[in-house]
Chains A and B, each alone.
Chain A
Amino acid sequence: MSNQKPTWCNSADHSFYTSRRNFLQVGALGTLGLTLGDALKAQAYEATPSKEGKAKNVINIYLPGGMAHQESFDPKMYAPIEYRGPMGTIKTKLEGVYFSELMKETAKIADKITVVRSMTHGEAAHERGTHNMMTGVRPSPALEYPSFGSVVSHELGPRNNLPPYVAIPSMTANGGTGYLGSAFAPFSLGSDPASAGFKVRDLSLPSGIDDKRFATRRSMRATVDEHFSKLEKTDALDGMDTFYQRAYSLISSEKAREAFDIEKESTKLRDEYGRNTAGQRMLLARRLVESGVRFVSMTYGGWDHHDNIKRAMENQMPNFDQAFARLIRDLDERGMLDNTLVYVTSEFGRTPKINQTAGRDHWPKVFSIVMAGGGVKRGYVHGSSDAQGAEPENDPLTVSDYSATVYNLIGIDPERRLMSPGGRPQAIVLDGHVQKDLLA
């Protein structure tokens, strides 16, 4: 019906008229005999049901703060010095493609990944930019949207006794369930895999409790619980039961628990990833998806480089570079790259010109993200920014299109709508189109 780009303000879900058939429908469910079946029949969405897509596993590496595109994947080597910045460049495996000089390792695997140099949106504040990139929807005053991970959790559910969505080390801003129920929240590790003696909290039995004693406890709990379970059933009780069951399967499946045990990785590989937060988090992310976790979201560093960007980059980038390159190679060596989507995002890029304090400020108009594996092209640069790195020059990638592409790879129809409180069905993507150029 429309060929205009919708925003929150003119999306169908925001309006009274077009969505009125669905408006609040399920809000009245729970009264009298209206069954869920009735309500669902009345909705009749056209979206295809979700099923595992090319990207069976997803790793989202989020770089909070807003990583400069100039000092990473989109150096402006021919721009005047105030735009070019203090860093040099390095030749990559792709003909004519250069990265920042600190990305020595990533340069060597450039033939395995796709770099998008034309990501663009209009939100220059951290929390709003983060919302864009974590949920794929621009922030709305009326509704909090679910993160990609929560949508995956909602649509595809757990695999191999493992929680479907895990956050390393803990949930980031906008990494949560938004309007979806909290059953779809990430399982937050609560501690950092890089720290010495890293252990996921409460995963293993407390000291003094062996498997046998735990089995006894479990059966005692069943005994105590039985009386009450017989009395009543409600959603809240079912929810608690679900998580107790998931906890039991996690605790009692050594294989599932081992997914969290980074010590099981060889010393050599751990060293190659790097004994730091970037390296160990990425390694654990790989370990988790390999074991069955569907979606891992992890953060690394702080990239809000308003001051002295050179020093900040020299501090943080080498670890990222080493870990990321090793992650891609590791996945490829294990034959997992083609079914694991790794995408590196940040809330925005940074200003074209170096500022007075030798840093760069927030710049959402154009910046770079990386996508690799899971059905994304190998060795490809999508779009470009202009000579100053100020505006997209070719093939701008909007948040909606980025979101549609990610969901499409995972196997979730971007047209899909999910129910928000009050029974308003919400599109997970606001009029986005899958960017076919990115697909392998």
Chain B
Amino acid sequence: MRTLFTALTLALPLAALAAPSLVEVRVVPPDINLSSKQDSQSVIVQAVYSDSTTRDVTAQAQFSLADKTLARLEKSVVHPVADGKTELTVKFDSKTLTLPVKVEKSAVPLAISFSLDVMPVFTKAGCNTGSCHGSARGKDGFHLSLFGYDHEGDYGKVTRQMLGRRINLALPEESLLLTKSTGAVQHTGGKLLEPKDDLYQTIVRWLEAGAPADAKDTAYVTGVEIFPVQAVLEGSGASQQFTVRAKYSDGSDRDVTKIASFVSNNDVSAKVTKTGLVTADKRGEAFVMARFDAFTVGAQILAIPKESGFSFPQVAEHNYIDTLVHTKLKKIRITPSDVTDDATFLRRVTLDITGLTPSAEDVRAFLADKDAKKRDKKVDELLERPEFTELWVMKFAELLQIRTDNNQFLYKSVLQYYDWLKDQFARNVPMDQLTQELLTAKGGTFSNPAANFYKVETDVLKLSENVAQVFMGMRMQCAQCHNHPFDRWTMNDYYGFAAFFAQVGRKTGEDQRETVVFNRGNGGVRHPVGNRDIPPKFLGMDGGTPAEGQDRREVMAKWLASPQNPFFAKNLANLVWAHFFGKGIVEPVDDVRISNPPSNPELLDELGKRFTDSNYNFKKLVRDICASRTYQLTPKSNELNAEDTRNFAKGTIRRLRAEVLLDVINQVTVTKDKFRGLPVGSRAVEIVDGRTTSYFLTTFGRADRGTVCSCEVKMEPNLSQALHLLNGDTVNNKIQSGGLVAAMTKEGKSNEQIIEEFYWRSLARPPTQTEQTKLAEYFTEAKTPADKAVVLNDVFWAVLNSKEFIFNH
């Protein structure tokens, strides 16, 4: 069949139409570990083709075991026979792969456990969800912990509550727990299990064993994996089976595919069955999540229509960013837009790096420059401007909530804190150092302004949430009350992380206005379940126990801002990316979670890795981004990428943020503003206090730094903005007081020349011939110089009210 297809397509001249060839075969999981008599592991074989599509070829692959006395095969499932090590060989088409098989305790039947076997049934069947028994007060008198965060509590409720009526050890199948679940007796939640189901049988086995409680040393789940991590399915109906494996604290693992819960975030493109079989439908991207125990893991599904004739054009790749972006685009069969022209590039990159527009002279010089490397050179030049750091100081001032607060946070402190931050950026202090200095800050807030970090927020839980959100892009709030349903975080993680901040002490300094931050050396946080003191623990990984007498924050900061913490560099890289593309690879930037996956995980990983390798060098990262072809694309879409908004296949159009818009209006009209504590003519970007604002800035959505949320900066247009630009005093007055028209008229410039100048300085381009012609018509009735000045001012007004001016594109 395949050869026939190849023969047919050979007749066609286009190479793109040749049948995709097999590139790679993946066999997952990468190793097989069987550790009890009942254990088994399903294996999945995925073929990857040259057009980036994948196929589930498990059924077509040939499996063979090197030593059949140790294990046996049932289709693609490996079962134990005797202890030892062997290999599984998988053959598909021209490819052959082997993976190690380890069999242990093959004669030992696995004892049934409440937490490891029974509780997953509750989750899989949906018993412990928020709308059912997992609700805060339970349902119909039966309360289970939400998604099973409290093993011991649930055991008590099942076996002890209601005088033990829920279970019947003499006649297990008569237990209310089971008769309810099968709908044999009335159950508000309906029928959830069938007696023949494995899930049902698991509970029966547990009851037959006498409904034992777990031994103290029962292993617990330490992580969950899903295989394969990605599938590119071509054509409606194409499917891929997934397998889920849990790892336990005793080093063992289990195939939990049958008892994990699956969910797709986009059923229109990919549906998933209860057993993890994903079927593609409409074109689109989906994310399939599997939940087991407290863990959620996800895999990316790209559903693309069966079509021939797609060919990815020959486009240059300026650097690794383009390679990774194009890899994704090829998979989803989208082509990137063209590269934007020099003038648009210059305006875009100048606005993004410095928060100002290029001057008319800059634009002209840039257009005249014949150097092939002029764009890269321009980026380097802009990065050396002080405005570059000022922009990022502003962004971090928002994250650190630098603002006055009645008598709590005086202007003096705000100014010191801001200056400290500015100094850090000006000296290009690597981000890990800056972060560590903030997080471990102690002493008086006057002598060490970084200590203000602990003055802004004094609540332990809130403080730890802020740290997670600002430095790792994570919203931990959900896990305060229950295990996060869409993420990996458990209450243990939440309180374990909060514990790092539990010993921060604060007292009033000699100067009444100063706060002294110190390490109290005692105190902790308590878990709401069991009210036990939780020791500090890193988020998402082991470790974090401080040495005797060590400041807990030091342990945390050293880990948080380091390569050991995978979230730190990626979060910052994403933050920077979002600034230049108007959208993060994870979006919103401060909502990293399993169920909100990055649109291009490989890209984010690489950005994070390189950022780390460069010793957290901000400028290097910005340079890479701005030099990429991806950054330099025109917003003009092509047929294939018109609908796409997540894969950076075209330039993004973004409204200028409040401060930048005001600064740019001042710049092009040659006028000045005055902000509190700053000399006349300072830019809005340099505002020290979050509370300093103006009607213009507030209307255009300036962050008042009240919270750390990225949503503080409002980029959405509104009616007041339109009214203000049309009728308000900003544009109208500044055109007048700047006196640009008068000055240029005095220089003897013609109307056309003056209009051209407006265009150059505001839009970084000359007016088109059509525009000049149309605008010239407005002068027909202007007889006197005064009349002409009016028309010219109005043209300027029109330029400043144009979308081309208000947006970066």
Contacts and interface: CB of A to CB of B under 8 A. Distances in A.
A422 interface: yes
B414 interface: no
Nearest to A9: B136
A206 B732 contact: yes
B771 A216 contact: no
Interface stretch (B59-67, B237-245, B283-291): B283-291
B726 A251 contact: yes
Given A31-B644, A32-B283, A223-B775, A239 B716 contact: yes
B269 A34 contact: yes
Q: Chain B: interface residue count, which band? A: 35 or more
Interface in B476-510: 477-478, 480-481, 485-486
A185 B700 CA distance: 13
Interface string B792-809: 001101110111101101
Contacts of B652: 234
Nearest to A213: B794
Contact of A220 (B595, B726, B778, B807): B778
Nearest to A187: B719
Contact of A16 (B263, B655, B717): B263
A198 interface: no
Contacts of B637: 232
B485 A422 contact: no
A14 B716 CA distance: 27
B129 interface: yes
Interface stretch (A20-28, A130-138, A299-307, A403-411): A20-28
A242 B719 CA distance: 9
Given A9-B130, A220-B775, A30 B646 contact: yes
A182 B147 contact: no
A10 B130 contact: yes
B643 A33 contact: yes
A181 B774 CA distance: 37
B802 A240 contact: no
Identify the interface centre among B263, B266, B695, B721: most chain A CB within 10 Å of its CB.
B266
A416 interface: no
A11 B722 CA distance: 39
Contacts of A225: 802-804
A229 interface: yes
A356 interface: no
A247 B726 contact: yes
Nearest to B281: A38
Nearest to B728: A202
B803 A228 contact: yes
B394 interface: no
A225 B768 CA distance: 12
Nearest to B804: A228
A418 interface: no
B653 interface: yes
Contacts of A38: 268, 282
Interface string B575-610: 000000000000010000001100100000000000
B129 A17 contact: yes
Contacts of A182: 714, 716-718
Contacts of B139: 2, 4, 10
B332 interface: yes
Contacts of A17: 126, 129-132
Contacts of B287: 24, 28
B695 A30 contact: no
B129 A227 contact: no
Contacts of A196: none
Nearest to B305: A33
B647 interface: yes
Given A202-B727, A239-B717, A224 B798 contact: yes
B778 to A, nearest CB: 7
A331 interface: no
A229 B646 contact: no
Given A10-B130, A32-B643, A223-B774, 14 more contacts: A15-B485, A17-B130, A21-B267, A24-B265, A182-B718, A201-B720, A204-B727, A217-B798, A220-B775, A224-B804, A225-B804, A227-B771, A236-B717, A421-B588
Interface of A: 1-2, 4, 7, 9-12, 14-18, 20-21, 23-25, 27-28, 30-35, 38-39, 42, 141-142, 163, 181-183, 185, 187-188, 190, 201-206, 209, 213, 216-217, 220-221, 223-225, 227-229, 231-232, 234, 236-237, 239-244, 246-247, 250-251, 421-423
Interface of B: 126, 129-132, 134-137, 139, 147, 188-189, 261, 263, 265-269, 282-287, 291, 304, 332, 334, 477-478, 480-481, 485-486, 588, 595-596, 599, 635-637, 643-647, 652-655, 695, 714-724, 726-729, 732, 768, 770-771, 774-775, 778, 790, 794-795, 797-799, 801-804, 806-807, 809
The 9 closest A-B pairs by CB, nearest first: A10-B135, A15-B130, A182-B716, A24-B265, A17-B129, A220-B798, A30-B645, A228-B804, A202-B723
